[in-house]
Chain A
Amino acid sequence: MTIGVFGTSVKRTEDPALIRGQGLFVDDIKRDNEAAAAFVRSPFAHAKITSIDKSAAEALPGVQAVYTADDVRSLGPLLAQVPIGKLRPLLADGVVKHVGEAVAMVVADNAATARDGADAVFVDYDPLKVVVDPEYAATNEALVHDDLESNIIHTWEEGDAEAVQALADREDTVVTSVKMVNQRLIPTAIEPRGVLAEWQHGYDRVTLHSTTQQPHAVAGALALTFGLPGVSSARVIAPEVGGGFGRGLNVYAEEMLAVFASRELGRPVRWIETRSEASKSTTHGRGWAATATIVSEPDGNFLAYSLVGVADMGAYSQNFSVAIPVLGQFTMPGQYKWDAIYWKMDCVHTHTPTVDAYRGAGRPETSFYVERAVDTAARDLGMDPIELRKKNFFQPEDFPAATLIGMSMDSGDYGGNLDVLVEKADIAGLRAMQETARAEGRYFGVGIATFVEACGLAPSGFADAGVSWAGYGLPSAFNESAVVRVHPDASVTVVTGTGPTGQGHETVWSQIASDRLGIPMERITVVHGDTKDTPMGIGTGGSRSAAVGGVAVAIAADRTKEKAAKVAAHLLEASEEDIVFADNGAHVAGSPDKNVPWTDIAATAYQPHKMPEGMEAGLDMTAFFDPSNLTWPYGSHVAVVEVDPETGDVELLKYVAVDDCGNIINPMIVGGQLHGGITQGIGQALLEAAVFDDEGTLITSTLTDYPIPTATDVPSFDLHKTTTPTDANPLGVKGIGEAGTIVSTPTIVNAVVDALSPLGIKHIEMPLRPRRVWEAMQEARA
């Protein structure tokens, strides 16, 4: 019997099925008479479609249908939550705008035949001018979409450019300016996307299984696209989902098209993405080119900061599109106090796959820029990067801290957190090792980066600021819901609107409910991911689930408990205020002998004649939680690297992190989130890049050429914590899902640049593959 106490590393309830291979992912769910879809995709980044010959495909035995834009045009484009810019046609309509864009869909009796059919569709293209580079796109010398006036579809701007410039122009100030690319990445969850669509003729209802992080958004899009009576006619189920990282925080054309085919053919239709297809049809992340500028006084006092650049949106706007950079805007100033700030980000279309949320979504980008710029400023100023940070941090007494970007950061002790890192990682010892290494001609680097993240999206008022977030016909809001239902036998169902993809919500939500109710976790079941059963939920992303969805569980549990207390008081002939819940039952405070088991309370609560006079039966409470602020977790990380002077090969020797995510519900799970997040950030720093050639062909479309970290690429991590609770929610939790990814990238780059600083190297563009590092060393040595 496990009472899920808040703050304990309870083993995950998700695991028993998964470690036995019994977890059901989309491709594991089979239906009688199902058909399979495959797509014909464009080999060109920009081309006119002059003809499509589907006769050979249609003639293949087993092929049921071949669909093109003519068949689906009436459904309209793929809806976006933030519909700014060009929306994606479900199938390319006369013209293709990126390599991998779907041109035709073939449905056959099985997947192999569908693939054969797709190969037998002959499409003629007339290639057109390609725009790949987002900075070139921003010049508007060539348009990505000739029916849009500009490639720039939105510009985020905040702060005072003139004030920053005036400070930079002052003679006694030091100006550090670095232009850097935060390169485009491919999320690469290990489970490819998949859908299983089942149209129910006669009811005009649809059930769709999909690898998504936001089933309610998909349901909203289905209802609008297919003109259903309402969202209640679209049941979207996210079963086990093999990794999210933002790629599931979207609505995809294949989801709509599989439903369309199922409606047309009267059969269930399955589509499972291949890996090389995933690299072009699933959203990418990052893709910024920007200049970060710090103006400081010679003693290291920061005066001003600006970040100006372009963000690549790809050819079509999907779910969040232009709203990703604004998430970065929240944390653009970092943890530092500035007198003036300026931020401008142009969001541009290019002839490439869509860019959208990827773990951190905007915040890793801006954190990278500020942390790289601060380290560069430290070199320009001749100061220790730790001292420079501490000098300019918001101090504990500054909280709640107002930033010039219009945010109010809840709580923090940034300097105290960094001090813990200095001690735990023995920075002094590492610097001594560095001195020895340098004397031997070795390139040994110690890189530090710190960060503050904006999590727990968000007070719903945010949804009305800047851009509309209502593109799926959903409420423009960011609250989360939960239902806590105590059954007559005192077992519990917790229903959540969050969409977990491995984060352990089943465990943690039942831990919260168990902690609140005193009912063992073994008797609690968490239901998620099925729009039929779950009240409206925004989904999982932005490290918001615990701080919003988890809090909703706690509130619903408290409400249930309040009612149960009345029943218990009635049974114990005590006062309601004296009822204490523990050990799977309730007792009178101070008199543990005067107790009643939960089973009696629950049973009573469903028998009106045994309940207190006038009380309604049932133990079933719903809560919607809307936080009062974003939450602001933060931390300090250090990486130790050595660079091979002959080859530029970077070896990561050690990684120490001190994170503060507020109160911790399950330390084991928090650690796991950090390990994975740090590794993903290391992937960006050292290995990963989506690379296009001048024709817009993605030359990194398989795992062979898009290397994500393996077990031999990373060390074990040394994790520590500080704890500064937030007051934005009653649990005091802040969020941890993206923290590692946000800070490990600049930490690693800072370490490599530190290693090579004797050569005078100030920056190397990511990924820091040996080639890049060697080229930088060559240039510096020349």
Chain B
Amino acid sequence: MYPREFDYVAPASLDEAFGALGDDSKVMSGGMSLLPLMKMRLFSPATVVDIGRIPGLDAIEDSGDHISVGALVRHADTATSDLIKANAAALATAASLTGDVQVRNRGTTCGSLAHADVAADQPAAVIALGATMFAQSASGTREIAASDFFVDAMTSALRSDEILTGIRFPKAGPGEGSAYDKLGRRGGRSDYAVAGVAAWVKKSNGSIEDARVAVTGVGTKPTLAAGVAEALIGSDGSDAAVKSAAEKAIDGITVLEDLYGSVEYKSHLAKVYVARAVKAALANAG
């Protein structure tokens, strides 16, 4: 219940924040993932860099053909933003299913992404949306594709001197739609994902012109299910086509057993939820 002692830094600017980052430091935005670990002393950084007071990072912005979400945008804002709901339903839904009311009021979308929990919801959504992640450091900004951002359990592509200052993804064009669905650990959609799937599709002339599908919860990291998209593209999006594509849900994914599912069950769930998410995305596609 009491974290180990640490140094606390609350920089007023990103430059100050970069200066405070070191080998044994940790960036905190909402703290919803970090503080419980610190309280249980499962993780004890020497320095906590609280970016919560840096101005300019809390906006959801419409930049014409893209939407950007700043580092301090909270889950509740992501979930209720009309802009995100209209253009990136997968992310709005995933944010609405993250934690509970209180967690959504403090935790941030980017914080959840940087934390890279294997069973978190929003990572799947940003992969499916083809988002770009902005990894900023004193030496500049790296743009990382969401599909390359999640490296392993609790490990992202961020270097220790970098901060995820925001993400950006394309707005929904004609015929495009996305969705997220999951089985939660408490059943229904409650709690972390036993298996969660985000799907993005682009329809054109009665067939699927493009698609991206990402799976979370079942393996070591949220993963792009490339085989599913491949099978979907060019198909008519019929239930049969979706079901057939869903069979490829775990291609290339190392499925792990845990308290909530065997390898067999989680593999099965991935397929079920790929089908559900793709169908919902097709329904959402204008």
Contact = CB atoms under 8 A, between A and B. Distances in A.
Interface of A: 111-112, 115-116, 119, 272, 274, 276, 646-647, 649-651, 686-687, 691, 699-700, 702, 704-705, 707, 710, 712-713, 769-771, 774-775
Counting chain A CB atoms within 10 Å of each CB, the highest count among B5, B183, B261 belongs to B183
User: Interface centre among A272, A704, A769, by most B CB within 10 Å?
Assistant: A769
A272 B262 CA distance: 37
B190 A710 contact: yes
B265 A775 contact: yes
Contacts of A771: 194, 260-262, 265
A594 B228 CA distance: 91
Interface of B: 1-2, 4-5, 40-41, 183, 185-188, 190-192, 194, 259-262, 265, 268-269, 272
B102 to A, nearest CB: 13
A647 B186 contact: no
Contacts of B190: 710, 712-713
A649 B183 contact: yes
Contacts of B187: 649-651, 686-687, 713, 769-770
B265 A116 contact: no
A179 B260 CA distance: 23
Contacts of B185: 707
B191 A647 contact: no
Contacts of A770: 183, 187, 194
B258 to A, nearest CB: 9
A651 B268 contact: no
B1 A707 contact: no
Contacts of A700: 259
Contacts of A111: 1-2
Contacts of A769: 187, 260
Contacts of A691: 259
B188 A649 contact: yes
A169 to B, nearest CB: 40
Q: Which 5 A-B pairs have the closest CB atoms?
A: A112-B2, A646-B272, A115-B2, A274-B1, A707-B186
B41 A119 contact: yes
A274 B3 CA distance: 13
Contacts of B194: 770-771
B245 to A, nearest CB: 16
10 contacts: A111-B1, A115-B41, A119-B4, A119-B41, A274-B1, A707-B191, A712-B190, A769-B187, A771-B194, A771-B260
Contact of B269 (A647, A710, A713): A647
Contact of A710 (B186, B261, B262): B186
A713 B189 CA distance: 10
A112 B183 CA distance: 38
Contacts of A707: 185-186, 191
Contacts of A647: 183, 269, 272
A661 to B, nearest CB: 31
Contacts of B41: 115, 119
Nearest to B272: A646
B265 A705 contact: no
Contacts of B2: 111-112, 115-116
A774 B260 CA distance: 12
A707 B186 CA distance: 7
A775 B262 contact: yes
Contacts of B191: 707
Nearest to B194: A770
A651 B261 CA distance: 18
Nearest to B275: A646
A685 to B, nearest CB: 12
A774 B268 contact: yes
B40 A276 contact: yes
A646 B265 CA distance: 10
Nearest to B276: A646
Nearest to B2: A112
Contacts of B4: 116, 119
A272 B2 CA distance: 12
A65 B185 CA distance: 43
Given A651-B188, A707-B191, A771-B265, 12 more contacts: A115-B1, A116-B2, A274-B1, A276-B40, A649-B188, A691-B259, A699-B259, A770-B194, A771-B260, A771-B261, A771-B262, A774-B265
A713 B186 contact: yes
A469 to B, nearest CB: 36
B85 to A, nearest CB: 22
A280 to B, nearest CB: 13
Listed residue (B41, B265, B268) with the most chain A CB atoms within 10 angstroms of its CB = B265
A109 to B, nearest CB: 13
A649 B184 CA distance: 10
B83 to A, nearest CB: 28
A713 B191 CA distance: 11
A687 B186 contact: yes
B21 to A, nearest CB: 25
A272 B265 CA distance: 40
